[in-house]
Amino acid sequence: MGSSQSKGDKQPMVFVSEENPVPVRVSSAFVNQLQQSQPNAGSLQDIENQVRHRVQAELAKIHAEKDSSMDTSHVNYKSTTNANAVVTEQELDQLAKSAPTKQIKALPEEITKAQESLVQCYKKNQERSLDCWAEVQEFKDLVQKAQNAFIAAV
């Protein structure tokens, strides 16, 4: 009765997968060897520290290269910017002298009165803005008339 338990693990282990119904026999010596070859927690930390140090060294190297390239490009940018600034100021002065100034004409008095009456109507009927349809139509008609007069004048 106890003889089977006291026997060593001399018999091979059998594994059967659901995906592959073929049984696989593995000796206990092989299983023991796999278990002993797994790295312990201390060696895992050592590996992690080594990787971390290498990554930090590479990042420092990349940052140094980036900084040196930024310095040279900044110097080049400054020299071209100063030259461009002089040209741009001259161009702006020429444009300011040659550009015609537009004079804004005052709105006709009838359009201003219609606009004021429309605003007053909206203020009076805040909850019922559709009650101001007559004032809106009058304002739109006056603006259309002024636009047609302007186009005809041009």
pLDDT in tens, 37-82: 666 666 778 888 898 999 999 999 888 888 777 766 666 565 566 6
Residue 101 has pLDDT above 80, yes or no: no
Residue 144 placed within a domain: yes
Residue 143 placed within a domain: yes
Please give the tally of structural domains in the chain.
1
Token look-up 């900084």 returns: 67
Residue 69 placed within a domain: no
Residue 72 placed within a domain: no
Q: pLDDT at position 65, please?
A: 85
- Indicate the pTM of the whole model: 0.35
Residue 86 placed within a domain: no
Give buried/exposed letters for 90-123 (b at 16+ CB in 10 A, else e).
Answer: eeeeeeeeeeeeeeeeeeeeebeebeeebeebee
pLDDT tier for residue 115 given thresholds of 50, 70 and 90: very high
Residue 122 placed within a domain: yes
Residue 129 placed within a domain: yes
Could you tell me the residue range of the domain that residue 128 belongs to?
Answer: 109-153
Residue 128 placed within a domain: yes
